[in-house]
């Protein structure tokens, strides 16, 4: 670990020097001479005297450097049966034209553009065009309810909304335009105009005077050059998943993000310009921002935008087909995707139908990766499977096995070690450091590295109270876990998912590991439910592999026995139910807080990000069968 340790130590000893060196690898209209300014911590600024443009770094620089004919973006859409490829030159031409469209509609530096689109190339084009003007984009996951869209309109007050007429799911078409119209009606803020990309599968009517057709505007547009902006100017606002009430808009600055993201492509993912990189996520989430659009393009890679599912488009071999068709070198997705694949094809038989020899590594993030999923993936893919941990707020990995710096042993259950720039520690509730191996709050000592969030949109006080008040001088991640003697970090649960059973602090993540190791379990969740005697009791919900015929009572008994053996009787684990589905966000995270609220009979709001609300009715029935969720019918 010598190379990694040197880089990590250097990044903490001299943050400005370390990252100014990395900043030399990106294009600046005015190169910075200042690294970090901590005068107003935690509102720290990176490269404050530099001038830059994110769109220029994603496109123009590669065309100038001879990569114009290399593929930049491949749109692979099994839901429409189409594939479309853009070279760097072609993508630049489209972005230049749409930048002209936005400029002609009055968008300028600092204005907000709200993008409400599915996984189509025009979404990336809209993002890059907004950045090209020095405006600020906020991408809202296509299909979000009108009320939630209206809340975001009121918070960021966009001058323009860019939308598609519809989104396409494997079994249905979702009309976007009525949702946009309703959101504008609900919102207090005025939206000057909407630009709508008409999809052939479901064109929509346009409101005269307000709505404009993407295709018509592009025909009459003139290319627009990139506008230099300050490094500290915002690039985008991204609202965190699960937001209720006042939205929490994470702001990303420009110069720090460009520098850090480009650095991660080689340091963490070990890819080179020209390599094919696939983040199987959605542009509505931070992974889509960082590793579908910006990171790969900053680095001169070919990025894949996939409009499909891990299973069902058409089957559990969908990912292997994409890897084969496009010679993918690195795949990055969420553990939930692989749990779904494993559930449908537990023996990995569909892998034999495809040639995935181009794949050199699989990266998993977005939620905690249980060792069973990691081991299954590694066994069947025959490549390193790298669990790494990060958050919307950080924009890229807090902890990772940095393959481009120095590959380290893979330890199942751990996202490895702190990435250079992050001083990760574990603290007790009173703020004192805990010994190695003890579970506590995982924090990052300030300052945070470049590319993380410098503030929340229009919410400076909330930025401080939500992230920096609990532990002075530290960023509170909201996650709980421990660090072992080798420096490996184990993220066990969200802080509020560390449960207290008769005075014993126990990790729900550790119990989930035990359940996931059962050969018949495809996916699981454990949460703490209120108990008058013990304070809290763990409750398990499990999904079984396809084709499992074993009686549910037998599986439940086996799981209870195994938790008692592996965790101990202290866990008081005696409640587990088999369910068909778990409630998840569209990004694949299990809504544990909602599960806990249902079990405890406490008030809760329907999460804006939930993928399938109907799942909650079945979950409530299952919890009642276990003796919970008795009060509210």
Mean pLDDT of 591-609: 83
Mean pLDDT of 34-51: 97
Q: Residue 559 has what pLDDT? A: 95
Element (H, E) at 436: none
Position 277 pLDDT exceeds 60: yes
Greater confidence (631 vs 141) lies with 141
Strands (E), 410-487: 417-418, 423-427, 440-445, 474-483
Position 440 pLDDT exceeds 80: yes
Position 292 pLDDT exceeds 80: yes
The CATH number that domain 2-308+388-481 falls under is 3.40.50.12780
Q: What is the mean pLDDT of the chain?
A: 93
Residue 90 C-beta-side C-alpha neighbours within 13 Å? 12
The answer to whether 481 touches 444, Cβ cutoff 8 Å, is no
Q: Residue 567 has what pLDDT? A: 79
Q: Residue 36 has what pLDDT? A: 98
Q: Residue 32 has what pLDDT? A: 98
Pairing between β-strand 276-279 and β-strand 302-306 as defined by DSSP bridges: parallel
* Burial label, 5 (beta-carbon count in 10 A; 0-12, 13-18, 19+): middle
Is CATH 3.30.300.30 what the domain over 502-625 is classified as, yes or no? yes
* Burial label, 482 (beta-carbon count in 10 A; 0-12, 13-18, 19+): buried
Looking at the DSSP bridge assignments, the partners of residue 336 are none
Radius of gyration of the chain (CA): 24
Give start-end residues of each CATH 3.30.300.30 domain in the chain.
Answer: 502-625
Give start-end residues of each CATH 3.40.50.12780 domain in the chain.
Answer: 2-308+388-481
Q: Residue 241 has what pLDDT? A: 52
DSSP conformation letters of 243-302: --SS--EEEEESHHHHHHHHHHHHHTT---TT-EEEE-S-TTSHHHIIIIIIHHHHTT-E
Position 633 pLDDT exceeds 50: no
Q: Percentage of the chain with pLDDT > 90?
A: 80
Residues in the chain: 633
Q: What is the pLDDT of residues 447-459, one digit of tens each?
A: 999 999 999 999 9
Distance CA 608, CA 282 (A): 16
Q: Determine how many CB atoms are found less than 10 A away from the CB of residue 523.
A: 26
The pTM score is: 0.86
Lowest-pLDDT range of 101-105, 264-268, 556-560, 626-630: 626-630
Q: Residue 539 has what pLDDT? A: 94
Nearest to 88 by CA among 96, 98, 76: 96
Distance CA 457, CA 292 (A): 23
Distance CA 460, CA 575 (A): 43
* Burial label, 534 (beta-carbon count in 10 A; 0-12, 13-18, 19+): middle
Q: Residue 497 has what pLDDT? A: 67
Position 632 pLDDT exceeds 60: no
DSSP 456: B
Q: Residue 244 has what pLDDT? A: 41
* 312 — pLDDT class (breaks 50, 70, 90): very high
Distance CA 313, CA 79 (A): 7
* 323 — pLDDT class (breaks 50, 70, 90): very high
Mean pLDDT of 324-337: 95
Cβ neighbours for 204, distance < 8 A, ≥ 6 positions apart? 165, 166, 175, 176, 177, 178, 196, 198
* 275 — pLDDT class (breaks 50, 70, 90): very high
Q: Residue 176 has what pLDDT? A: 95
Position 377 pLDDT exceeds 60: yes
Q: Residue 243 has what pLDDT? A: 37
Nearest to 510 by CA among 522, 520, 498: 498
Reading across the β-sheet that carries 489-494, which strands appear in turn?
423-427, 440-445, 474-483, 489-494
Distance CA 360, CA 301 (A): 15
Greater confidence (224 vs 151) lies with 224
Q: Percentage of the chain with pLDDT > 70?
A: 97
Distance CA 405, CA 39 (A): 31
Mean pLDDT of 107-133: 98
Q: What is the pLDDT of residues 155-183, one digit of tens each?
A: 999 999 999 999 998 888 999 999 999 99
Q: Residue 530 has what pLDDT? A: 86
Phi, psi of 357 (to 5 degrees): -65, -15
């Amino acid at each position: 670990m010598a190379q990694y340790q040197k880089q990590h130590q250097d990044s903490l000893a001299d943050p400005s020097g370390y990252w100014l060196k990395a900043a030399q690898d990106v294009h600046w209209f005015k190169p910075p001479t200042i690294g970090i300014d901590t005068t107003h911590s935690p509102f720290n600024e990176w490269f404050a005297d530099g001038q830059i443009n994110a769109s220029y770094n994603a496109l123009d620089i590669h065309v100038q450097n001879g990569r114009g004919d290399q593929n930049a973006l491949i749109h692979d859409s099994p839901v429409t049966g189409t594939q479309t490829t853009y070279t760097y030159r072609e993508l630049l031409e489209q972005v230049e034209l749409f930048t002209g469209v936005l400029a002609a509609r009055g968008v300028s530096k600092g204005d907000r553009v709200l993008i409400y689109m599915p996984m189509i190339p025009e979404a990336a084009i809209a993002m890059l065009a907004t950045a090209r003007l020095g405006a600020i984009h906020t991408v809202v996951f296509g299909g979000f309810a009108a009320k939630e869209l209206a809340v975001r309109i009121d918070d960021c007050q966009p001058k323009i909304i860019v939308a598609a007429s519809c989104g396409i799911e494997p079994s249905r078409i979702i009309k976007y335009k009525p949702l946009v119209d309703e959101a504008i009606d609900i919102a207090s803020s005025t939206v000057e105009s909407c630009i709508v990309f008409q999809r052939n599968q479901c064109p929509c009517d346009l409101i005269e005077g307000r709505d404009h057709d993407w295709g018509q505007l592009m025909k009459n547009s003139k290319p627009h050059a990139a506008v230099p902006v300050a490094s500290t100017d915002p690039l985008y606002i991204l609202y965190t998943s699960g937001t209720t009430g006042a939205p929490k808009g994470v702001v990303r600055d420009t110069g720090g993000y460009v520098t850090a993201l480009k650095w991660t492509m080689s340091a963490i993912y070990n890819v080179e310009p020209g390599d094919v990189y696939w983040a199987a996520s959605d542009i509505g989430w931070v992974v889509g921002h960082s590793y579908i659009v910006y990171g790969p393009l900053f680095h001169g890679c070919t990025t894949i935008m996939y409009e499909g599912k891990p299973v069902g488009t058409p089957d559990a071999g969908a990912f292997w087909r994409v890897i084969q068709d496009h010679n993918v070198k690195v795949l990055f997705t969420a553990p939930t995707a692989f749990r779904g694949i494993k559930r449908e094809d537990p023996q990995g038989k569909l892998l034999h139908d495809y040639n995935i020899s181009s794949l050199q590594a699989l990266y998993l993030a977005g939620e905690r990766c249980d060792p069973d999923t990691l081991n299954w993936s590694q066994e069947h893919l025959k490549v390193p499977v790298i669990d790494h941990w990060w958050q919307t707020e950080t924009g890229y990995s807090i902890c990772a096995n940095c393959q481009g710096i120095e590959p380290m042993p893979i330890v199942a259950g751990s996202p490895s070690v702190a990435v250079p720039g992050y001083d990760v520690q574990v603290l007790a509730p009173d703020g004192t450091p805990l010994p190695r191996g003890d579970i506590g709050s995982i924090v990052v000592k300030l300052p945070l590295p470049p590319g993380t969030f410098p503030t929340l949109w229009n919410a400076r006080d909330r930025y401080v109270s939500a992230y920096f008040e609990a532990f002075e001088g530290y960023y509170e991640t909201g996650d709980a876990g421990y660090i072992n003697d080798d420096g490996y970090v184990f993220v066990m649960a969200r802080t509020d998912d560390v449960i207290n059973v008769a005075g014993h602090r126990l990790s729900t993540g550790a119990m989930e590991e035990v359940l996931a190791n059962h050969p018949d379990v495809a996916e699981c969740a454990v949460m703490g439910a209120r108990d008058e005697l013990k304070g809290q009791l763990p409750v398990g919900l499990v999904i079984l592999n396809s084709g499992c015929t074993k009686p549910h009572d037998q599986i439940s008994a086996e799981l209870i026995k195994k938790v008692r053996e592996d965790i101990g009787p202290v866990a008081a684990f005696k409640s587990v139910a088999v369910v068909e589905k778990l409630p998840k966000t569209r990004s694949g995270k299990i809504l544990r807080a909602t599960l806990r609220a249902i079990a405890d009979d406490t008030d809760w709001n329907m999460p804006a990000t939930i993928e399938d609300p109907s799942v909650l009715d079945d979950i409530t029935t299952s919890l009642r069968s276990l003796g919970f969720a008795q009060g509210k019918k």
